[in-house]
Amino acid sequence: MSRTLSEADSKALLAAHGVPVPDERVVESAEDAAAAATEMGFPVVAKLCGDAIAHKTERGLVRLRLADAEAVRSAASELLAQATPDDGDVGVLVAPMVQGNRELIAGLHLDPQFGMTVMVGVGGILAEAVHDVAFRLVPLTRVDAEDMLDDLATSALLGAFRGEAAVQRDKVVDVLVGLAAVAEADPSVVAVDVNPLLVGADGVPVAVDALVEVAS
């Protein structure tokens, strides 16, 4: 048996091992959501967050590009109203709206034969079409992580693209090595899904959404 940590708890665990995540907060009320958004600056994203909520997008529990406090207040009220008894304790996660034209996916997957593996690939709308991913076993060195990026058939997308800077490969390597460190530090972790690992115009990747699955 396993359980999924909330998005906020998942990101906190990953951040402790060097995976970059947005500066975000979980609040309990619409008013607190508006205050948090005002403090961090607009636009922001608001999501319903809880241990039992894994598939937010499918349930319509994400609000994007909220441009002012009133929009956040309204969105947060709607999200909290959509919570069901099965969701358990919930809050509203408020985060900066991270922009970027390139998405990667990364994570940890437990192979029944070989053990824990680190994965990286092309994300976003191209993910299912090209299915371009690379795997390596844990433990993972920085050289291993570099090789993973070289293995991607669409690695050209990591270069300068549509006026945006080339992906900072060392930062992506940090993410992959950090994921391996999570697996080594906590044997209860059975899977991690970082999707998307969004690459900003400056070429820096950020784990915009992440879920960690642990043995229960």
Same domain, 87 and 107: no
134 neighbors 149 (Cβ within 8 angstroms): yes
At residue 129, the pLDDT reads 65
The reported pLDDT for the residue numbered 154 is 83
Q: Can you give the residue range of the structural domain that contains 110? A: 102-215
Mean per-residue pLDDT, 136-160:
93
CB 120 within 8 A of CB 133: yes
Q: What is the pLDDT of residue 211?
A: 95
Number of domains in the chain: 2
Domain boundary among 68, 96, 124: 96
Whether the predicted pLDDT of 28 surpasses 90: yes
Cα(180)–Cα(177) distance, integer angstroms: 5
| Per-residue model confidence as pLDDT tens digits over 100-141 | 888 999 999 999 999 999 999 988 766 666 789 999 999 999
CB 95 within 8 A of CB 49: no
The separation between CA 193 and the C-alpha centre of its own chain, rounded to angstroms, equals 7
How far apart CA 14 and CA 146 sit, in angstroms, is 20
pLDDT at 215: 95
Judge whether 18 lies within some domain. Answer: no
Are residues 92 and 27 both part of a single domain? Answer: yes
**Tens digit of pLDDT for each residue in 35-75?**
999 999 999 999 999 988 877 777 899 999 999 999 999 99
On whether residue 120 sits in a domain, the answer given is yes
Q: Is residue 84 part of a domain?
A: yes
**Does residue 15 lie within any of the structural domains?**
no
121 and 91 within one domain = no
Backbone φ and ψ of 6, nearest 5°: -65, 160
Answer whether 98's CB lies under 8 Å from 22's CB: yes
- CATH number for the domain including 114? 3.30.470.20
Instruction: Determine whether 57 is exposed, middle or buried from the number of CB atoms within 10 Å of its CB (0-12, 13-18, 19+).
Output: exposed
More confident residue, 214 or 59: 214
The pLDDT tens digits for 155-210 are 888 898 778 889 999 999 999 999 999 999 999 999 999 999 999 989 999 999 99
Q: Cβ of 131: how many Cβ atoms within 10 Å?
A: 10
Distance CA 177, CA 19 (A): 9
Q: How far apart are CA 47 and CA 44, in angstroms?
A: 10
